[in-house]
Chains A and B, each alone.
Chain A
Amino acid sequence: MTDAPLPEHPDFLWRNPEPKRSYDVIVVGGGGHGLATAHYLVKNHGITNVAVLEKGWLAGGNMARNTTIIRSNYLWDESAAIYEHALKLWERLPEELDYDFLFSQRGVLNLAHTLQDVREGVRRVNANRLNGVDAEWLEPEQVAEVCPIVNVSDRTRYPVLGATYQPRAGIAKHDHVAWALARSADAHGVDLIQGCEVTGFVRDGDRVVGVETSRGRILAGRVGLAAAGHSSVLAGLAGVRLPVQSHPLQALVSELHERIHPTVVMSNHVHVYVSQAHKGELVMGAGVDSYNGYGQRGSFHVIERQMAAAVELFPAFARAHVLRTWGGIVDVTPDASPIIGTTPVENLYVNCGWGTGGFKATPAAGWTFAHTIATGEPHPLNAPFALDRFTTGALIDEHGAAAVAH
């Protein structure tokens, strides 16, 4: 665990320019993915005539609402490849961006509470190792060694029967990640334009040649969408239908505590995940609300259930107080894997469907999306995540496979 003090609250890290009349590339959505895309458009492809358009403020969407868990222990080869690429990029990003955003590789435990969980976990450990992802199977006593406050007694309702462990997994300060990416992109000439909502697309026949915004028309050679929960609303303005459903997802934090929780613990079966933020809050999340919603708030019973699970797993939390809860809107695909690639409309590209798990992918999402936008072709890492997999049937079914229930 890194013991570095929190970075100073930064001064102004980027300009706030007026939009130009046209750009080579417009990225819609100033969350982590949009900013990482701009960063790699500059760094990997030398494209600097770029604007990132954000309807609110930079990183005010899911980027600043998530529980910051970073891991790459996904089951399928395609997922392991892209999430592990992301993890390798995370490992060098603080240096690359010259910004300590407190990436802390404190490990993640994914607990097993049933025989089926155990089998699924062991299978995933084996799959991870075949893909070069660090993974171990731990027995309950070993779980208690990694995280002494987890209750591994066999007298709970759903005893801990073991866990998968990825030591290189961890957390990072999400808003600082966004600011670091924004500072770098800005310094290389990218225009970051806040308070600029995309309300339509400018077409020339089958091609997109620009966007209509709340600040006027802006032309573009290529347009990439990175709008997370609003991706289908946005793509719909261009006549593109996406197989995503938007759901509220909540998180909450406790008041500050001393350092008692050394790692990240996730449980699919009782469904809670918990880590301790650098300042000391316990950060908790659970699953999405079942119904579609754009309300940025969720149902109380979801919180009630996750708290019950947390208190049984961590008896020490019983007297902790909830300080705040909030919600974000996540876009979920039928196979719980993202869509990154081309669309039926020329010069329009989409990065969406990351659902509950896209923060960990931020650098790889940016890397592959920038490649796709710059070259017009997918990178080998995102080729399997094309929109047409829902027609061909080549799904990457991470539902229940990715160590988390969605």
Chain B
Amino acid sequence: MLLIDCPWCGPRDETEYHYGGQAHVPYPDDADGLSDAEWAEYVFYRDNPKGPFAERWVHSIGCRRWFNVLRDTASHQVLAVYRLDEPRPEGTR
């Protein structure tokens, strides 16, 4: 089980959270002008790296706020926790 450090509540067990998939996937700027392939990319295609991955979690049975976690998908190590309005930490790509 993961131990995730909510920016507002501190470290809690994984079971208090829900997973929200890849972080930093903005809604397309030019939604009207998108081709089918570009829509497919936005709706269905996500990164799936073996290694550091920026993802969203919500503290669903705590403060109910969303935030981002940078986690290594191979080691399960949590590398950083940061707010939605913050950029992915430098030097982690």
A residues with CB within 8 A of B: 230, 232-233, 241-246, 290-295, 299-301, 331, 334, 390-393
* Main secondary structure on A side of the interface with B: loop
User: B18 touching A290 by the CB < 8 A rule?
Assistant: yes
Q: How large is the interface on B (under 10, 10 to 19, 20 to 34, 35 or more residues)?
A: 20 to 34
Which listed residue, A241, A294, A301, A390, touches B73 by the CB 8 Å rule?
Answer: A294
Q: 12 extra interchain contacts, Cβ-Cβ under 8 A, other than A290-B19, A291-B19?
A: A241-B45, A242-B48, A243-B40, A243-B45, A292-B53, A293-B74, A293-B76, A294-B74, A299-B14, A301-B15, A390-B40, A390-B43
CB-contacts of B1-36 with A (<8 A): 1-2, 13-15, 18-19, 21, 36
Chain B hits for A230, CB < 8 A:
50
CA distance A303 to B1 in the complex (A): 11
Chain B hits for A233, CB < 8 A:
48-50
B92 contacts partner chain A, Cβ-Cβ < 8 Å: no
User: A295 touching B1 by the CB < 8 A rule?
Assistant: no
Kindly provide the distance from the CB of B58 to the nearest chain A CB, expressed in whole angstroms.
Answer: 11
CA distance A188 to B71 in the complex (A): 46
Chain B hits for A246, CB < 8 A:
48, 50, 73
CA distance A242 to B45 in the complex (A): 7
* Closest CB pairs A-B (n = 3): A290-B19, A391-B40, A232-B48
Chain B hits for A294, CB < 8 A:
50, 73-74
CA distance A187 to B49 in the complex (A): 38
Chain A hits for B37, CB < 8 A:
391
A to B CB contacts below 8 Å, 24 in the list = A230-B50, A233-B50, A242-B48, A245-B21, A246-B48, A290-B19, A291-B55, A291-B71, A291-B73, A292-B48, A292-B73, A294-B73, A295-B73, A295-B74, A295-B76, A299-B2, A299-B14, A301-B13, A301-B14, A331-B48, A334-B43, A390-B43, A391-B36, A393-B36
B residues with CB within 8 A of A: 1-2, 13-15, 18-19, 21, 36-37, 39-40, 43-46, 48-50, 53, 55, 71, 73-76
User: Which of B13, B39, B44, B55 is packed against the most chain A CB atoms within 10 Å?
Assistant: B44
CA distance A393 to B43 in the complex (A): 11
CA distance A113 to B75 in the complex (A): 37
User: A243 touching B74 by the CB < 8 A rule?
Assistant: no
Chain B hits for A245, CB < 8 A:
21, 46, 48
CA distance A20 to B73 in the complex (A): 35
CA distance A233 to B49 in the complex (A): 7
CA distance A299 to B17 in the complex (A): 13
Chain B hits for A295, CB < 8 A:
73-76
Chain B hits for A290, CB < 8 A:
18-19
Kindly provide the distance from the CB of B23 to the nearest chain A CB, expressed in whole angstroms.
Answer: 12
Chain B hits for A390, CB < 8 A:
40, 43-45
CA distance A230 to B51 in the complex (A): 12
User: B1 touching A299 by the CB < 8 A rule?
Assistant: yes
Considering only CB atoms, which chain A residue lies closest to B74 in the complex?
A294
Chain B hits for A299, CB < 8 A:
1-2, 14
Chain B hits for A242, CB < 8 A:
48
CA distance A393 to B40 in the complex (A): 8
Kindly provide the distance from the CB of A394 to the nearest chain B CB, expressed in whole angstroms.
Answer: 12
Kindly provide the distance from the CB of A111 to the nearest chain B CB, expressed in whole angstroms.
Answer: 25
CA distance A392 to B43 in the complex (A): 12
CA distance A295 to B71 in the complex (A): 12
